[in-house]
Amino acid sequence: MRTKSQPETIAVDVERRRHPRESRPAPVKVLLQALGEDVEFQAVLVNSSRGGVAIRHWRKDLMVGSHVKLSVAGSEEIAARVRWNWISGPLVISGLERVSENEFCAAAGRGNVAQSVPSTSRALAAAALAGLMIVIGWYLKTRIL
């Protein structure tokens, strides 16, 4: 029994998407331009709309902001940018926003900043390790002499 102090709860489904989604599972080939080289892998198209697509794959290195090109069953090609990733164990679902072919080519020409982050991190780690080795060498040299 409800009292007057308890508000009535109404469940309302709110659709946040701008364009309706069409569920159409299909195999897709994904071409990722990472650090000056093309990486190709297989994925499954989960759904699509006028504004973008969602794909299911196993590549955890597909970063937000990366530009990709999808080939759907060899017929349709879609240029897109990764907007989000949802990772559950080994499975990754990525939301891709369609972009114009010109924007895709421009991103491919300058390289993806999101893809260059790991190499920058590796370079910093190598520099820090080299500095640490120099300090250890100096310390051991002063202790031995």
The CATH number of the domain holding residue 79 is 2.40.10.220
Region 110-128 average pLDDT: 63
On whether residue 8 sits in a domain, the answer given is no
Q: Is residue 10 part of a domain?
A: no
How many domains would you assign to the chain?
1
Q: Is residue 56 part of a domain?
A: yes
Confidence at residue 25, expressed as pLDDT on a 0 to 100 scale:
84
State mean pLDDT over 88-113.
Answer: 74
- Please, are residues 65 and 81 in contact by the beta-carbon 8 Å criterion? yes
Identify whether 5 is part of a domain: no
Give me the residue label for tokens 């990733």: 85
CA atoms lying within 13 Å on the CB side of residue 37: 2
Q: Does residue 74 sit within a domain?
A: yes
Least confident of 21-35, 42-56, 93-107, 116-130: 116-130
Domain hosting residue 91, numbered range: 22-111
Task: Note whether residue 86 is domain-resident.
Answer: yes
Evaluate the CA torsion angle 50, 89, 87, 113 in order and state its sign: negative
Stretch among 15-29, 100-114, 116-130 having the lowest mean pLDDT? 100-114
Element of type H or E holding 6 = none
